[in-house]
Amino acid sequence: MWILFAFGSALFAGLTSILAKCGIRRTDSTVATAIRTIVVLIFSWLMVFIVGSQSQLSEISGKTLLFLILSGLATGGSWLCYFRALQLGDVNKVVPVDKSSTVLTILLAAILLQEGITWTKSVGVVLIAVGTFLMIEKKESSGAAAKDSRWLWYALGSAVFASLTAILGKIGISGVESNLGTAIRTVVVLAMSWLMVFVTGKREALHHIPGKELVFICLSGLATGGSWLCYYKALQDGPASVVVPIDKLSILVTVLFSYVVFHEKLAAKSAVGLLGIVAGTLLMLL
């Protein structure tokens, strides 16, 4: 059953990228992240009360709470980097770099969680790494294009924080119902994202969000909530080294919708890279 939740996470995550991109064309990415987190928080706590796990709050151990908080901080860092990268670069470029977190996650899972690395996983890691490299297209650096090359560094930061999120989240939800764990983490992400809004002096931007973009930001929050609930349920029942690669198949959904919505086409090299990422991910299931 955890495999179905992992694929559900991939579907919602793919939709999140497209909806978020539509919501940050003119809206500051940090402000958009803070608003989306409110939607995710409401959604996640609603699920807590639906499944009735709120009664477990008093039973959460200090260690579990600590790792949930650390996972929330890592998620906040990943979000801030990811949506800034989306604002600066094309979806088809940002998402593959972000998905490279799979490689780091597998290595960390082997070291910290003692999850074995078989030869199929090793080949899968190589395919994902090579595929990601092929999908990072370089453009001539001149004028505004040079400035916007910063998207790569933000995307790499997102990947690193996403890897830490998966490992810390796996440890944190081992002693708590997954919906409740997700809701607690979201509280941390909310506090972190709004702190960033005030620290960076972007409060005024809240008054200048176009109505249409606000709708897309909220929809991306709902998609994120759905992705999180599926993802952490899958992580609770399945190995992180397999759940994470399946979740990263969201790149297929993202590429499809980026073509339909933004008319972003894949070059031949990028298409080969995408096939490599998918093939590597499928090997993880063996």
Count of C-beta atoms within a 10 Å radius of residue 53: 17
Instruction: Give the residues of the chain that fall short of pLDDT 50.
Output: 139-147
CB 274 within 8 A of CB 133: no
pLDDT of residue 141: 44
Q: How far apart are CA 159 and CA 185, in angstroms?
A: 18
Q: Tell me the torsion sign for CA atoms 154, 157, 159, 161.
A: negative
pLDDT at 140: 45
**pLDDT score, position 142:** 44
Residue 108 vs residues 18, 58, 105, 132: alpha-carbon distances, Å: 29, 30, 5, 19
117: DSSP letter: -
Please give the pLDDT value at position 282: 81
* pTM of the predicted protein model: 0.75
Buried b (16+ CB within 10 A) or exposed e, 81-104: bbbbbbbbbbbbbbbbbbbbbbbb
The pLDDT of residue 146 is 47
